[in-house]
Amino acid sequence: MSFLTKLSGLTRHEYFQTLKKVEGFLPRYVYREREFIIKRELTKIREYFQLNSDFIDNGNKILSVLWETLSITVDKIIAGTVSVLALLSLKLLSPQVTSVCKVLGVTHSAIIYQFKR
């Protein structure tokens, strides 16, 4: 978002107001299957680190339990948060949080922030 706001010269508030207007023209984007997208990211993590199916099972359970809390943030950050929680629930020390973040293209601090919330 920051790239777009800099490029357009809009303030954060103006950016979100514009996004609301675009919603009418692109409802498919606004009402996309976010849980499906996040589950696809979990599968990407599983395949990249060659984890077993327990990772996906735990990830799906965690996602369904925490969906209301996490749904207000970006899909990849949700996927990272759920991935880290799934790894912790399986008591896996590897891969590390930073490795998961690199694969998803998110910052380590964004995941830590979700834990604090």
Q: Does one domain contain both 38 and 27? A: no
pLDDT tens-digit readout, 50-102: 999 999 999 999 999 999 888 888 899 999 999 999 999 999 878 888 999 99
Q: Does one domain contain both 59 and 9? A: no
State how far the Cα of 45 lies from the Cα of 103, in Å rounded to an integer.
7
Q: Does one domain contain both 70 and 102? A: yes
Percent share of the chain, pLDDT over 70: 89
Tokens 């590390």 belong to residue: 96
Query: What DSSP line would sit under 43-64, residue for residue?
Result: HHHHHHHT--HHHHHHHHHHHH
What CA–CA distances, in Å, run from 48 to 8, 10, 15, 21?
Answer: 36, 38, 35, 38
Of residues 65 and 4, the one with the higher pLDDT is 65
Q: What CATH number is given to the structural domain containing 72?
A: 1.10.472.10
Q: Does one domain contain both 44 and 66? A: yes
State how far the Cα of 103 lies from the Cα of 87, in Å rounded to an integer.
15
State how far the Cα of 77 lies from the Cα of 79, in Å rounded to an integer.
5
Structural domain boundaries enclosing 9: 1-31
Q: Does one domain contain both 51 and 99? A: yes
Q: Does one domain contain both 58 and 83? A: yes
Percent share of the chain, pLDDT over 90: 49
State how far the Cα of 94 lies from the Cα of 16, in Å rounded to an integer.
38
Residue 115 tokens, joined? 């834990």
What per-residue confidence (pLDDT) applies to 28? 64
Q: Does one domain contain both 99 and 87? A: yes
* Residue 15 pLDDT grade (very low, low, confident, very high; cuts 50, 70, 90): confident
Q: Does one domain contain both 21 and 64? A: no
Q: Does one domain contain both 43 and 24? A: no
Q: Does one domain contain both 40 and 23? A: no
* Residue 33 pLDDT grade (very low, low, confident, very high; cuts 50, 70, 90): confident
Q: Does one domain contain both 40 and 25? A: no
